[in-house]
Structure 1
Amino acid sequence: MKKLALLAVAVHLPAYGMSWLPEEPEEPVVEVPEGAVSFIAIGDTGTGEEKQYKVAAAMKEVCDELGCDFALGLGDNIYETGVDSVDDVQFIDKFEKPYADIDFPFYMTLGNHDNGWLSGDGLDNDKGEFQVDYHYAEDRMSEKWNMPARYYSFTAPLESESPIVTFFSLDSNPLAAVSDPDPEYRQFKYYRVQEEWIEAEKESAKTPWKVAFSHHPYISNGRHGNAGWYDGVPAFGYALYDFVGDNLCGDFDLMISGHDHDLQILPPVERCGGMTQIVSGAGAKQRPLDDVNRNPAEFQQGDVLGFMHLNIEGSQLTVRVYTVDDVTGEHALAHTYQMTRD
C-alpha cells in the first residue's frame, strides 16, 4: 500500500516540471563475523571394541594435523541398550577409554540404542536420562562428555562473544521410533514440546550459520532410508519427517546425523530447500549402502569405517570425508566438499 500512495504523489508532480518514482530499498548486507570452527562428526560409536579404537586413533591424527575444537557425537553412544545408571561402567569402557588420547569436548545426542529396551527398539527413553546425568557427574573420568539436556543448543567458536554458528542437538528418538509407552515421551506430546523449544531457540539465534545434529537422518541412502519410510515401513519416522520439514527446512544450512553405518553427503532436496544432509555413522560399525539412487548424493560410501572433519570459516563450509581401514587402522581422505552460504 505504501508504494501505491507514493505513486499517487508522483502523478501530481508534473505541475512542477518533474516526475519520479521511489527507488527500491537496497537489500541489507549481512556481515559474516570473522572466525573459524573445526569439528568432527562421528556417530554409532559405542561398542568399546577394536574398531572404535582404530577410528579414534585416526581421528586424533587428523585433528592433530587440521585442528579440532570439538566433536559431535551422533547417537548410539552406548551399544546395545544404553546404560542402567550414571555410574554404569560402560561410560568408561565405551567412551572414556576409546577417546582417552583426544583432548577436546564431545557434544552428544541420543540414539535408539541409547534408549533401548531390547537392542535398538528405542522404546525405553528413560534410559537416555542417565546420559544427561553423566554430563553433571562430579566423579567422571574426564569432562569430555557434553549432554546438558536431551535437546540443547550451543554456539561456536566456543566461548566466543561473536560466534558464527549455532548448533542444535535434537532428540530424534521419540519422533523416529514407535511411540514410547511412558506418557512423557509420547510422540505427539514430545513433538510439541521440542517444537516449542526449537522455535524459541531459532528466535534468539543470531549467528549466520545454523546446524542441526541428531541420530536419525531426514534423508539417507543407507539401510534405514528416509524419515517417513524408515526400513521400508510406510509412515515409520513420519513425526521426524514432519518435524524437520516444519522447523529446519528453509532455516538451517546443515543437518548431521548417524544411524546408518556409512558416509554420505546429500545436497538439498526440493521439499527441504537450502539444507544439506550429512550422514556419518561409521564410527565403530560399517554397513553397505542400500539404495544409492534414493536421493541425489555429492558423496556416498558404505561398508567402511570413517568420520568427517568440517570447517566453517566466514561464509564457507569445507567437509573432508575420511575412511579408516578396519584391519590396519590407516585413514585416507576420500572426498572434499565445499559449500558457500549466501
Structure 2
Amino acid sequence: MAMSNTPKADVEGIEARGKVVRFIAVGDTGTGKEGQYLVANAIEKVCAAHGCDFALGLGDNIYESGVDSVDDAQWLDKFEKPYQNLDFPFYMTLGNHDNSYFSGGGLDNTKGEIQVDYHYKENRFSDKWNMPARYYHFSAPLADNEPLVDFFSLDSNPLAALSDIRQDYWQLPYKKKQAKWFDETIKSTLGKWKIAFAHHPYMSNGRHGNAGLYDYVAGLGGVYKDFLEQEVCNRVDVIIAGHDHDMQWLRPVQPCGKTFHIVSGAGAKSRSFSNPDRNQSYWQADETLGFFY
C-alpha cells in the first residue's frame, strides 16, 4: 500500500461562513444482498452519530444490467428497501452496469435514461432518488442561497465504455456536449469548494486501473481521460468515483493539477487491489466493504 502524509484540512472557509456539509460517498451498491445491507446499516450508525445531509451514489446502482422500467421490482429490492432507514436524499450518477445489455458492458445507454425517469416518477416508495438528468449540478448546504460546495454529477459511461451504436451517445459529440455544459455551469457557481462525482475514476489502484488503460486495454477510457484533463481537472477540488470495489484516497498528479481523487466502490461487494502502488495514496483499503464520509 503506497502511503504518504495526509494533508491538513483547510477549515478557514467553514469557520468564516459557519457552515458544514456532511455527506456519504458510496458506489457500486445495487445488489440487494447482504453486503449492501451491511453498508447501509453502517451508514445509518455514522449518520446517527455525526449527521448526514445527503449521499452521493457513484453508479452501478442496479446490478447486473440496470432496470427495464420505472416500475421494475429492482427499485425496491436494490435501492429503496436497503436504504429505507436513511432519512436524506441520494444524488445518483450512472455506471456501466446501469447502461448495459448484459452484465457490465455499458453499451446500452438508453437503459440509463430509465434511471433519470425514475427521478420524475410520482408515488415512489420514497423521495430519496435524485437524478434529474444524466449529468447535473447541485449545491450544498441544500436549499441555501449562499452555497459552500458545488457538486457536479458527470456522465462517464458514454465516454469510458466502448462506444454506443446510437448516435446520441457517440463519444466525441457527447464529450463536446457535456464539456460545454460543465464549462458553463462551473463558471456560474459560487461555492468555495467544487466536487465532481462520476462512476469511472480518473485513476485507481483497483482492478480496472487508470483511465486510458482501463482493464489493461490500451485506449479504453481515453476519451473520458481527455474530458477530465481538458475540462474538470484543476477546476474542482476532488473527483469522487466508484467502479473499483475498494476505497482509495489518492494524491494529485500533474496531468490533473491539484485535484484530489477518491474511489469509493465498496458499497456492496469488495475485492483486492491489482496494483496497490500504481498511484500514490494517502490511504486505501481493499477486501473490505465501506464508504467515505
TM-score (norm 2): 0.94
CA distance in 1, matches of 2:187, 2:292: 29
What's the counterpart of residue 287 of structure 1? 271
Q: Radius of gyration: which is bigger? A: 1
Cα deviation code 1:269-321 (max 9, x no counterpart): 12111100000000001010111111100011111100110xxxxxxxxxxxx
Q: Moved runs in structure 1, 4+ residues, more than 6 A?
A: none
Unpaired runs of at least 5, structure 1: 1-29, 310-342
How many Å apart are 1:34 and its aligned residue? 3.2
What's the counterpart of residue 22 of structure 2? 38
The answer as to 2:153 corresponding to 1:169 is yes
CA distance in 1, matches of 2:234, 2:74: 39
Equivalent position amino acid for 1:80 in 2: E
More strand by share: 1
The answer as to 2:34 corresponding to 1:50 is yes
1:235 aligns with one of 219, 222, 229: 219
How many Å apart are 1:267 and its aligned residue? 1.3
Give the alignment of 1:1-342 within 5 angstroms.
33-309=17-293
Structure with the larger RCO, 1 or 2 (CA within 8 Å, 6+ apart): 2
SS in 2 for 1:45: coil
SS in 2 for 1:307: coil
Cα deviation code 1:212-257 (max 9, x no counterpart): 0000000100000000000001110001100110111121100000
CA distance in 2, matches of 1:249, 1:50: 36
Query: Contact 2:66–2:97 (CA<8 Å) still a contact in 1?
Result: yes
TM-score (norm 1): 0.81
CA distance in 2, matches of 1:118, 1:96: 23
Equivalent position amino acid for 2:87 in 1: D
SS in 2 for 1:100: coil
SS in 1 for 2:91: strand
SS in 2 for 1:130: helix
Unpaired runs of at least 5, structure 2: 1-12
How many Å apart are 1:51 and its aligned residue? 1.0
What's the counterpart of residue 4 of structure 2? none
Equivalent position amino acid for 2:139 in 1: T
SS in 2 for 1:129: helix
Aligned identity (percent) is 59
Tell me the number of residue pairs that the alignment of Structure 1 and Structure 2 aligns: 280
CA distance in 1, matches of 2:18, 2:146: 8
SS in 2 for 1:37: coil
How many Å apart are 1:33 and its aligned residue? 3.5
Query: Contact 2:146–2:190 (CA<8 Å) still a contact in 1?
Result: no
CA distance in 2, matches of 1:194, 1:248: 11
How many Å apart are 1:71 and its aligned residue? 0.2
Cα deviation code 1:43-71 (max 9, x no counterpart): 00000011111110011000000110000
